[in-house]
Amino acid sequence: MSDDAPAEDELSFGIRVQSAQDVAQLRWLLARADPRLIRLTAARIATRLAPRPQQVIAELGLERRSRPRGEAGPVPRHRPAAHARGRQQGWYAS
């Protein structure tokens, strides 16, 4: 089994894992939330398919970002005009 594959106990949470990104998100979630709360949340928001890890993270109100939403990052040096147009169109926070 590779490092990207979910462990057997990670599959018992009722969360749909389809990619390496899902595995990473599930591991991140397990490090920050109570396993019982994860199971209950997954069961509550489940539809026909089990929810993906990102859905459970959002439902629990956790944020998995290096910087908060809306915080502007550095302007790319090679694209200042395109960045300015994007800002005017509302793609970036001011």
Reported as a pLDDT band with limits 50, 70 and 90, residue 71 is low
18 Cβ partners below 8 Å, 6+ apart?
52
Residue 45 pLDDT greater than 80, yes or no: yes
Does residue 46 surpass a pLDDT of 60?
yes
10 and 27 in contact (C-beta within 8 Å)? yes
DSSP state of 76: P
What pLDDT score was predicted for residue 51?
Answer: 84
| Ramachandran angles phi, psi of 37, nearest 5° | -65, -35
Q: Can you tell me the distance from the alpha carbon of 67 to that of 60, in angstroms, rounded to the nearest whole number?
A: 18
